[in-house]
Structure 1
Amino acid sequence: MGSSQDTYEILVIGAGFSGIYALHNLRKRGFNVKVYEAGTYMGGTWYWNRYPGARVDTDNPIYQFNEEGLWDFAWTERFPAHPELQEYFRYLDDKLQLSKDIEYNTNVSATQFDNARNQWQVKTDDGRVTWANHLFLCTGSTTTRYTPPFKGLDKFKGISHHSYVWPKAGVDFSGKRVAVIGTGASAVQIIQEIGSKVGHLTVYQRTPNLCLPMQQAKANDPSKAAWFPPKSKFPEIFGVARRSFSGLNFDWEPKNAADVTPEERRALYESLYAHGGFAFWLANFQDMLFDKESNAYAYTFWAEKARARIHDPLKRDILAPLVAPHAIGIKRPYLEQTYYEVFNQPNVDLINVRESPILEITEKGVLTEKEGVVEVDIIVLATGFDSLTGSIKSIDIRNGKGEGLRDMWKTNGTSTYLGLTTAGFPNLWYMYGPQASRVNF
C-alpha cells in the first residue's frame, strides 16, 4: 500500500476489463500507473456479479483480450459462466503481473483538480490522498445498482438481495418461496438457474425481455467444435469484429427485408436463430433497426418462436405478446437457454406489474394491486443499474473551480466530448463512459 501522498502520472479507478487493459497498455508505453479497485480482486462486473446463473452473452473468442500472446486460455464454453471468467482474470494476472500495480479494497470517494499543481487530488475512504497528472475512470457501465423505492422493503422479514451484491456464500433456494422482481438480463439468468430448485417462484415483469436463443456449446462436445476455432483463425475473427457495426464477428445482411421474398426472409431468420447469440439482432437485414416494416417482420418471427414454447395462454401474452411492446432490438435483448420453459412449471407465477403494480413490500412478501400479498421467503431484486453515469457520479468529482461534475450533469444534462472527457475537467478520461463513440450494449 502506498503512502498518503503518492504521485502518479496516471491513476486508474477500477480493475475490470477496461481498467486492467489500460494498465497493461500504459505500462508498455512507460507510464507510471496505479489502479485503485474497491473489490478484493480484479474483474469488475465479473467480480461483483456472482448471482446464480451469471454468464457472459458474447461468444468467445470475442469476449477476451485480442492481443496475440494472450490466446492460450482454454475456454470450456461458447458463452462462459462467472467462475470461468474469474479464472480468466487470474490467467491475465499471472501472465501480465497486473496485481503488483493494483491496490485492492480501495474505494475512491472524492477527487478535485488542483490548478496550482495541475494535478488531480484523489481521496479514498480510508483517508489517503493521492496525486495524479491524469485520471482514468474505468468505473464500468453497470456498477451502480438501482433499487426502486419500494415502500416497506426494510420491513421484510425474509432474505432480500440485489442481484449485483449477491453474497459470496450464495443463497439456498431449495424448496423456498421466491419472488424475482424484474426481467432484465440478470433476472433471466437467475430465473433459469433457480427455476428447478424453488418451491414456488413468482416473477414480477414490467416489460417483456425479447430473449434470443443462446445456443450454448461446450468444448468437450465434438459436435460443437466449430464454436472453438483454432488460434490461427483469431486474426481473421478479430478483424471482422473491428470492422462490424456491432463489434462482433458478424455484420448485417446487405439487403432490405422488403426486397426479398417471404421465403428468403424466413430462411435468413431461421439461420440466424439457429446460429444463436446476438446474430438475430445484429446480423439481420440491414434495415431491421431503421425501418418499421423490416422490424415488424423480425418481431413476428421472434414472437412465433417464443410463443410456441409457452403453454399457458395468459403467460404467453405477457412474455411474448402478439403486438410488439417496442421495436425488437431497440432495447437490448438477452440470451436464454431455458427461460421460457421455466414458466411452464406449475409452481411458477407471472405478474404483469403494468396492470397490477407493486404497492409495497410487507413483512411477509410482495403486495400488488390485484393479487394482494404473495408471501415469500426470498426476494431477488433484479432491478438493474444507474447505467453509464451512475458509477462516475458516485464519486464527488470537482474541477479547479470547485464545480461538481454530478451537479453540472444534473442541471445541464450529461455532456461529454466524444464520450471521453468533459470540458472544464482537464485530464479526466472516461473509459466505456456516457456518449462514447462505440456500441453501447
Structure 2
Amino acid sequence: MVKLQDTELDVLVVGAGFSGIYQLYHYRKLGYSVRIFEAAPDLGGVWYHNAYPGARVDTVHTIYQLSIPELWQDWAWKEGYPGRKELLEYFQYVDRKLDVKKDVSFNTRVVAARFDQQTDRWIVTTEGRLVVRPRFLVLAVGFAAKSYTPDFNGLEKFEGICYHSSQWPQEGVDVKNKRVGVIGTGATAVQVIQEVGPEVAYLTVFQRTPNIALPMRQKVLDAGVQAQQKALYPTMFRRRLQTATGLLIDSYPKPLFSATPEERLLFWEDLWAQGGFNFAVSNYNDCAINEDANREMYNFWRDKVRLRIHDSKLQEKLAPTIPPHPVGAKRPALEQSYYEVFNQPNVTLVDLNECGISGMTNKGILTEDGVEHELDVLVLATGFDSITGSLTQIDIRGVDGVSIAEKWANGVYTNLGMTSVNFPNMFFTYGPQAPTAFSNGTCCIEIQGDWIVRCIEHMKANEWTSIYATTAAEAEWRTAVMDMGSRLLNNKAKSWYVGANIPGKVIEPLNYSGGIKNYVDVITGVADRGYEGFTLSRCGEGK
C-alpha cells in the first residue's frame, strides 16, 4: 500500500491494464514518484474481469501487446487471437520482467477526486478512505468498466445462477448439462454462445439485433515461425500509426462501384478467407459512408453466413434479407463456430422484436407470449455504459465544483479526447472523443500514453504545475468529432458507439473517427506548438 510519505505523488494512475502499465513504465524511467491504484486483486484490467466462457481478444497477437522491446522479444504467443487465460499469463510475464506490482495498490478503488487550486494537486479518495495528493491524475480505466443491466422486472426472483458477463466468477461456473440462457448477441454473447453451446443441456438465446459477425480464422502458432517474424515487429508497431484503425490493414483505395461485379466478388472472397477484421476494415473505401456500397457488402456477408445455417427461419433471424443496420455501424464480433451452434437441436433463438421479455420468474424468463423459459444459469451479456461510464462513475469534481458526470450529462466535451476543461492536470486514455472503439486498443493507449508522458515531462522540466484545456479548444475538438461522426453510417444504428444502449444517455458520436494517423498528426502538432489550446501556469499564478 501507499505509505504516508508517498501520498504527494508526481503521478497517480488509475487502472492496471495495458494503459496503466505502459505509463507506469515510462514515468519510472523518468524518475517520477508514481503509483497505480487498481480496484481488482491483480493485473490485467478488463482481462481480469472478463472471466466469462470463451473470452478472447479479436486483435491479432502481433499487435495486441505492449511495444516495449524487452517484453515482446522474449514472449511467445500460443494462438493467433489469444484467449483470456493466455492474456493473464502475459500480464504475469510483464510483471516478472518489469516488476510492476511493487508500484500497484490492488483492491483499491478510486471513488472521488477534486482539484486543489491552492497547491495544484488532486485530492484523490479511495473506497477504503485512503487519500493521496498527486500532481497529475491519469485515468487508465478503459471504456467498458461500468456494466449495464436493463431493468428486468423481477430479476431478483430468479433462483438460478445469474451473472452479468463482466462479473463472472473467477473460478468459473459449471454449465455442463445445464439449461442456460443468454440475453444479448453482442461480441461477448457471441463468444459465450459458441463456447457453451456444445456442452449445455439446453441453450436459449434472447436476441434483439443479430450480430454481423465475421470469421476469426483462429490458428495455433508455431514458435519457430513466430520467432522469425519478430524481426518485423518494430516495423509492425510503426505501421500501426499509419493506418486508420491502428491495425496492420487499411481500406482498399477505391470506391466499391468503380470495381466490376467479378472484381468485387474475387476481392471479397479473398478478404473472407483471410478472416479477422479484414472484411470490415480492408474493404472498399466508401463502404462506411455510402449506403448502397455498404448494402452490397452486407449481401455478400449474408449469403456466406446463410450457408452455415440449416433452418430457413433461423437464416432470416441471424442473417436477415434486409440488413438490421449498416455493416460496421455496430461492433462486429469475430466468431469461430457461432452460427453452427444454432443448428443444434438443443438451441432456441428467441427474437425479442417479436416477443419481448415480460419479466423474470423464480425458474427463468417469462416472455410476452406467456412462455416460461426455465433456466439453471442466466448470462446477462447486456453490455456497458461504454466510453464515458468508466469515468462518470467516479465522483471527479472540477475547479468549478461540477462533476465530470454532470458536465457530460448533456453531451461530451473533451480536448483531444484526453483532457477536459475545468479538470486541470487530469488525463484519460482510451475514452471519449478519441479513436478508442474504432482502433486497436494497445495502439491507441500507447499513442495517448506517449503524449501524456511527454506533456508531463515538459511541465516538470519547465516547472509548470498546472495545465488547463481552454474552452475554445474544447469546443473546436467537439465540433470536429461531431462533424466527422455525422458522415458515417454509424448514425443509422442504435449502438454503444453513440450511447444509444443506455436509457437517457445523449445520442452522439463518442469516438474520434478521423483515424489513428490523423489523430497522431493532430495531437503531435498541438504538443509541438507548445501545447496550443492549453494554458500552463505555476502554483500561485493566476489561472
Which residue matches 2:133? Answer: 131
- Bigger shift: 299-308 or 240-249? 240-249
Q: CA deviation at 1:373?
A: 1.1
Which residue matches 1:3? Answer: 3
**Take 2:83 and 2:306, find their aligned partners in 1: how far apart are those partners?**
27
For 1:259-304, what per-residue CA distance to the aligned partner results, in whole angstroms no more than 9, with x for missing partners?
A: 1111110111111111011000001111111112211111010000
Q: CA deviation at 1:322?
A: 1.1
Q: Secondary structure at the match of 1:189?
A: helix
Which residue matches 2:70? Answer: 69
- One-letter code of the match for 1:3? K
Which residue matches 1:261? Answer: 260
Which residue matches 1:25? Answer: 26
**Take 1:234 and 1:437, find their aligned partners in 2: how far apart are those partners?**
22
Do structure 1's residue 337 and structure 2's residue 339 form an aligned pair?
A: no
For 1:7-41, what per-residue CA distance to the aligned partner results, in whole angstroms no more than 9, with x for missing partners?
A: 10110000111111111112222221110000111
CA contact (8 A) 1:247 1:439 kept: no
**Residue correspondence of structure 1 range 34-73 to structure 2 within 5 A:** 34-71=35-72, 72-73=74-75
Q: Secondary structure at the match of 1:69?
A: helix
Do structure 1's residue 436 and structure 2's residue 434 form an aligned pair?
A: yes
**Take 2:44 and 2:105, find their aligned partners in 1: how far apart are those partners?**
13
CA contact (8 A) 2:63 2:247 kept: yes
Which residue matches 2:173? Answer: 171
CA contact (8 A) 1:8 1:132 kept: yes
- One-letter code of the match for 1:267? L
Do structure 1's residue 192 and structure 2's residue 184 form an aligned pair?
A: no
**Take 2:119 and 2:182, find their aligned partners in 1: how far apart are those partners?**
51
Do structure 1's residue 404 and structure 2's residue 406 form an aligned pair?
A: no
Q: Secondary structure at the match of 1:193?
A: helix
**Take 2:223 and 2:348, find their aligned partners in 1: how far apart are those partners?**
35
Do structure 1's residue 236 and structure 2's residue 235 form an aligned pair?
A: yes
- One-letter code of the match for 1:43? G
- Bigger shift: 288-297 or 339-348? 288-297
- One-letter code of the match for 2:8? T
For 1:161-209, what per-residue CA distance to the aligned partner results, in whole angstroms no more than 9, with x for missing partners?
A: 1100111121111111111000011110010110011110000001111
CA contact (8 A) 1:150 1:361 kept: yes
Q: Secondary structure at the match of 2:63?
A: coil
Do structure 1's residue 92 and structure 2's residue 90 form an aligned pair?
A: no
Which residue matches 2:14? Answer: 13
TM-score by length of 2: 0.78
Gaps of 5+ in 1: none
Q: Secondary structure at the match of 1:230?
A: helix
CA contact (8 A) 2:43 2:91 kept: yes
For 1:129-174, what per-residue CA distance to the aligned partner results, in whole angstroms no more than 9, with x for missing partners?
A: 1001110000111111101110100110111011001111211111
CA contact (8 A) 1:254 1:285 kept: yes
Which residue matches 1:315? Answer: 314
For 1:233-268, what per-residue CA distance to the aligned partner results, in whole angstroms no more than 9, with x for missing partners?
A: 112222322201111011111111101111110111
**Take 1:89 and 1:414, find their aligned partners in 2: how far apart are those partners?**
32
CA contact (8 A) 1:4 1:128 kept: no
- One-letter code of the match for 2:360? I
Which residue matches 2:472? Answer: none
**Take 1:380 and 1:69, find their aligned partners in 2: how far apart are those partners?**
39
Q: CA deviation at 1:89?
A: 0.5
Which residue matches 2:477? Answer: none
**Residue correspondence of structure 1 range 97-112 to structure 2 within 5 A:** 97-112=99-114
For 1:31-54, what per-residue CA distance to the aligned partner results, in whole angstroms no more than 9, with x for missing partners?
A: 211100001111001110011000
Which of residues 154, 157, 178 is equivalent to 2:156? 154
Which residue matches 1:328? Answer: 327
TM-score by length of 1: 0.96
Sort the Cα spacing of 1:87 and 1:221 in 2 relative to 1 into closer, same or farther, 3 A: closer
For 1:393-427, what per-residue CA distance to the aligned partner results, in whole angstroms no more than 9, with x for missing partners?
A: 111011233222211211x3221111111101111
- One-letter code of the match for 1:25? H
Q: Secondary structure at the match of 2:423?
A: coil
CA contact (8 A) 1:15 1:35 kept: yes
Q: Which has the higher relative contact order, 1 or 2, with Cα contacts under 8 A spaced 6 or more apart?
A: 1
CA contact (8 A) 1:78 1:228 kept: no
Identity across the alignment (%) = 48
Which residue matches 1:245? Answer: 244
Gaps of 5+ in 2: 440-543
Moved over 6 A (4+): none
Sort the Cα spacing of 1:79 and 1:228 in 2 relative to 1 into closer, same or farther, 3 A: farther
Sort the Cα spacing of 1:108 and 1:4 in 2 relative to 1 into closer, same or farther, 3 A: farther
Q: Secondary structure at the match of 2:10?
A: strand
**Take 1:371 and 1:417, find their aligned partners in 2: how far apart are those partners?**
51
Which residue matches 1:281? Answer: 280
**Take 2:39 and 2:404, find their aligned partners in 1: how far apart are those partners?**
21
- One-letter code of the match for 2:318? L
Which of residues 211, 231, 238 is equivalent to 2:213? 211
Q: Secondary structure at the match of 1:112?
A: strand
Q: Secondary structure at the match of 1:380?
A: strand
CA contact (8 A) 1:219 1:228 kept: no
Question: Could you say what the CA RMSD is over the residues aligned between the two structures, in angstroms?
Answer: 1.5
Which residue matches 1:303? Answer: 302
Q: Secondary structure at the match of 2:21?
A: helix
Sort the Cα spacing of 1:307 and 1:21 in 2 relative to 1 into closer, same or farther, 3 A: same
Q: Secondary structure at the match of 1:360?
A: strand
Q: CA deviation at 1:439?
A: 5.3
- One-letter code of the match for 1:39? A
**Take 1:50 and 1:405, find their aligned partners in 2: how far apart are those partners?**
30
Which residue matches 2:184? Answer: 182
